[in-house]
Structures are given as C-alpha cells and as structure tokens.
Amino acid sequence: MIGGLFIYNHKGEVLISRVYRDDIGRNAVDAFRVNVIHARQQVRSPVTNIARTSFFHVKRSNIWLAAVTKQNVNAAMVFEFLYKMCDVMTAYFGKISEENIKNNFVLIYELLDEILDFGYPQNSETGALKTFITQQGIKGQPQTKEEQSQITSQVTGQIGWRREGIKYRRNELFLDVLESVNLLMSPQGQVLSAHVSGRVVMKSYLSGMPECKFGMNDKIVIDKQGKGGTTDEPGKSELGGSGKQSIAIDDCTFHQCVRLSKFDSERSISFIPPDGEYELMRYRTTKDIILPFRVIPLVREVGRTKLEVKVVIKSNFKPSLLAQKIEVRIPTPLNTSGVQVICMKGKAKYKASENAIVWKIKRMAGMKESQISAEIELLPTNDKKKWARPPISMNFEVPFAPSGLKVRYLKVFESKLNYSDHDVIKWVRYIGRSGIYETRC
C-alpha cells in the first residue's frame, strides 16, 4: 500500500508531504529528489526503486507527484490513484502549478486525508468529495445533522457517486465526444500506424435518480440490430466521415457508475449518472480512421549549406466543416543558420529555440489544400553526423470524431419524478484533436 505521498516543485523542494505509514522515513523525500529530480541522467521510468523503497511518480507541468511505498503494491493502482488525485486537484483549484499548490495546501492535506486512508485509496469521486470537503471554513456554512448523515449514507452507500434529492428546474445534459487522433505516416503517404483514443465526457444536470442509457454505433450492437433491419440513422451524413455505419471499438473503460454486467451481457451502457461533469467512458479504435489532414513533405538538399523544404497539407473532410487551430511544425537541422519562409495561408515562423519552423493557420475548410516552402541555410560543421530528419508534426481541431463514432441515443428514465426522456435537453458535441500526428520527411 502507499506509504506516503510527496509533491515537489521543479527544483525538488517539497511542497506537500504526507506520510501514511511508519516504514517511510523523512529520508525517502530526499532520496527521490537526489535520485530522480536531480539525477544526472534524466530518469525516464515512472517507477524508481531506491534502497528497497519504490517511488511512483507522475509529472504535471513542473510539479512532481510521487507515491512512495516499501511494499509490493499494484503499480497500476498507484498510478490510477495519482491520476485521480490530479483530477481531483484540478477540479478543486484548476491548473496544477506550484502557485496553486502553495495557495491550497490546507485543502490538499484535507483531500489527502480523505482519499487515502492508511495508504489505501478511498472514494476519490470529485462530486462526492465536493459535498463534504468545501473550501469554506466551518463557520461559513455549518452542515446540519441531516446533511451530514446524508453525506455519510451517500459516501458509504451503493451509489457513492450521486446523492439523493437533487432537483433541477431544467433537466439538461451535455455530451462531448473528445477524440485525439494519432498518426505516423511515411514520406510516401503510407500509414505506418494510426489510432484514435477517445473519451465521452458528460455533464449532467438531472433531477432525482435517473437511469440513463447510452447508445453509439458500436459495431457489435449495430450488427446485432442489423439483422432486424433498422439502420435509419439520422444525422449520419451530416458528419464529415465517409458514411460509415458502425465502428469497431478495440477496447474501452467506463466510469464506475456504468453497470458492467449489463455491458458484458447486452453490450448496452446503462448507468445512474453522477451529478456534474465526469468522464463516462474511454475507448480506442484502430480501424477505418478518418485522417483529417494529409501532409505531403518535400525536402531537397542543395549542396552542403542549403536545404529546400516544401510542405503541402490537404484537408480531407466535408467542405462544410472547418478545422481550427492548425499548426504544422517542420523540424530544421541543428546547424541551421538562417531560414526564409513563404506560405500562402496563415503565418509561419522559424523558432530557433525549438529548432523548427512553426506554421499556424487559424481555420481551414474541408477538401482544401495549402502549401509552405522554406529555404534553410546551413552552417558547415565538422561533424559528419547526418541530420536525423525528425518527422513533421501537426496540431489541429476538427468538429467531428475521426474514429467515426456517433452517439445514437442517450435515454433518461426517471420513474419517481415526473419528467420523461423528452423533457431533458440534450447537447451533443464532437471534437477531434490531433494527438501525435506525424509525417516522416
């Protein structure tokens, strides 16, 4: 079990230190600093073993979170806990930064007391935590006996993520399908690897204890129904994709509220949602991915001191859709001494500190193409090493799901209160972002 938890800033100074078990001494704090944060060689492994003590760390911007244990714990559990803890902290005070941690350290200790008990992870559901760990002092809003008992029953009850008696005037729910598409393409345009990792994030403002059912164009479900012959899918053609009927999901994980038994038997996703924002599911697909952009690089070496680069990007989705925040990053050789760039659209700049030309385009419609050409001057070096030609990477945001995932329905049933599925206002949004989207050149 987790023996202790430390938070360091980038210098290795301890911001938060919470020791849960006696086997972790104060020297463990220093051991991690010396051996990991200040290590001569950058430590790449997230798990470090120093003197029979294991350190599991994650890094958020400049902040190190390290869980320490002397026992043989389940590493996946520890990391899950650390991620969860990051989520909780983000939910409470926003970005995890040194400043924020210093300003909220009382709160963090309070949270740590709650979500980790003698090293055993406890309920770390933000919604539930927020009911009893508030940032107001005791004076501000004394909780009544009833409220307290309600919290107790909720936290210890079967549905720990939702309390009873929630009431909204307007029953509303927001559903975001957030995907990030990863690609590695050869210079010739051959896809070397591609996958989409997606998340379904929900924000629900529903009264009572509603029972929800979520449906999407999962291949297995569609194929099952396909025999019945009901494949009228409205809104299908509106989206950018190639009109795919269904998608094959490689693997998925769900929020704890989803009834896994039902998913296993019927592959239907039914749940009682938590109140507020949460991540309903995570999934990954590798087949039939819609690649929103195609990058065509052309690199020509003119002698030893000159390099000509031409890059064309083509958008590959419906013309009615607009991609946003497009950024192409073209690496330059390490001995670049000067760069001239010409581009038709957007702005391009040579960033010496990053050894790259960064080309930014605000928005771009589908089925268009754009081009940049650059002349790079090189300084002759006495190193015979050839330039490794790192891949050209790209960032963008598109308003559809590159995996082809569609939300078919999200039904809400609340038997006790008298509102029906039709009364609920539902919002669905698709956002596809680039993950690691690279083309070799």
Partner 1 sequence: MPAVSKGDGMRGLAVFISDIRNCKSKEAEIKRINKELANIRSKFKGDKALDGYSKKKYVCKLLFIFLLGHDIDFGHMEAVNLLSSNKYTEKQIGYLFISVLVNSNSELIRLINNAIKNDLSSRNPTFMCLALHCIANVGSREMAEAFAGEIPRILVAGDTMDSVKQSAALCLLRLYKTSPDLVLMGEWTSRVVHLLNDQHMGVVTAAISLITCLSQKNPDEFKTCVSLAVSRLSRIVSSASTDLQDYTYYFVPAPWLSCKLLRLLQCYPPPEDGAVKGRLVECLETILNKAQEPPKSKKVQHSNAKNAILFEAISLIIHYDSEPNLLVRACNQLGQFLQHRETNLRYLALESMCTLASSEFSHEAVKTHIETVINALKTERDVSVRQRAADLLYAMCDRSNAKQIVAEMLSYLETADYSIREEMVLKVAILAEKYAVDYSWYVDTILNLIRIAGDYVSEEVWYRVIQIVINRDDVQGYAAKTVFEALQAPACHENMVKVGGYILGEFGNLIAGDPRSSPLVQFNLLHSKFHLCSVPTRALLLSAYIKFINLFPETKSTIQEVLRSDSQIRNSDVELQQRAVEYLKLSSIASTDVLATVLEEMPPFPERESSILAKLKKKKGPGAVSVNELEEGKREGGELNGGGERGDNSAIAASNASTPSPSADLLGLRTGPPVTAAAPSAGSLLVDVFSEAGVNDDGFLRDLEPPTESSDSLLAEGPGDSDSAPPSVVSEDPATPLPESNELLNKFVCKNNGVLFENQLLQIGIKSEYRQNLGRMYLFYGNKTSVQFITFTTTVTCPGELQSQLNVQSKPVEPLIEGGAQVQQVINIECLTDFSDAPLLNIKFRYGGALQNLTLKLPVTINKFFQPTEMASHDFFQRWKQLSLPQQEAQKIFKANHAMDTEVLKAKLLGLGMALLENVDPNPENFVCAGVIQTKAQQVGSLLRLEPNAQAQMYRLTVRSSKDTVSKRLCELLAEQF
Binding residues: 347, 349, 351, 360, 362
User: Minimum distance between the CB of residue 345 and partner 1, rounded to whole angstroms?
Assistant: 26
User: Which residue in 200, 202, 156 sits closest to 178, CA to CA?
Assistant: 200
Residue whose structure tokens are 């309903």: 280
The smaller minimum CB distance to partner 1, of residues 290 and 376, is found at 376
CA distances from 109 to 6, 98, 169, 350 (A): 11, 15, 36, 45
The smaller minimum CB distance to partner 1, of residues 334 and 367, is found at 334
User: Minimum distance between the CB of residue 7 and partner 1, rounded to whole angstroms?
Assistant: 16
User: Minimum distance between the CB of residue 59 and partner 1, rounded to whole angstroms?
Assistant: 10
Residues that bind partner 1 (CB under 8 A): 10, 42, 62, 334-338, 352-355, 377, 379-383, 385
Q: How far apart are CA 26 and CA 131, in angstroms?
A: 33
Rounded to 10 degrees, what is the CA torsion of 340, 344, 350, 354?
-150
Indicate the length of the chain as a whole number.
441
Side chain identity at residue 125, one-letter code: E
The smaller minimum CB distance to partner 1, of residues 227 and 384, is found at 384
The smaller minimum CB distance to partner 1, of residues 268 and 335, is found at 335
Give yes or no for a contact between 209 and 167, defined as CB atoms under 8 angstroms apart.
no
The smaller minimum CB distance to partner 1, of residues 267 and 351, is found at 351
DSSP-based three-state secondary structure for 260: helix
Q: How many C-beta neighbours within 10 Å does residue 111 have?
A: 20
The smaller minimum CB distance to partner 1, of residues 152 and 305, is found at 305
User: Minimum distance between the CB of residue 385 and partner 1, rounded to whole angstroms?
Assistant: 8
Side chain identity at residue 422, one-letter code: H
Q: How far apart are CA 125 and CA 276, in angstroms?
A: 11
User: Minimum distance between the CB of residue 382 and partner 1, rounded to whole angstroms?
Assistant: 6
User: Minimum distance between the CB of residue 33 and partner 1, rounded to whole angstroms?
Assistant: 15
Contacts (Cβ under 8 Å, ≥6 apart) of 418: none
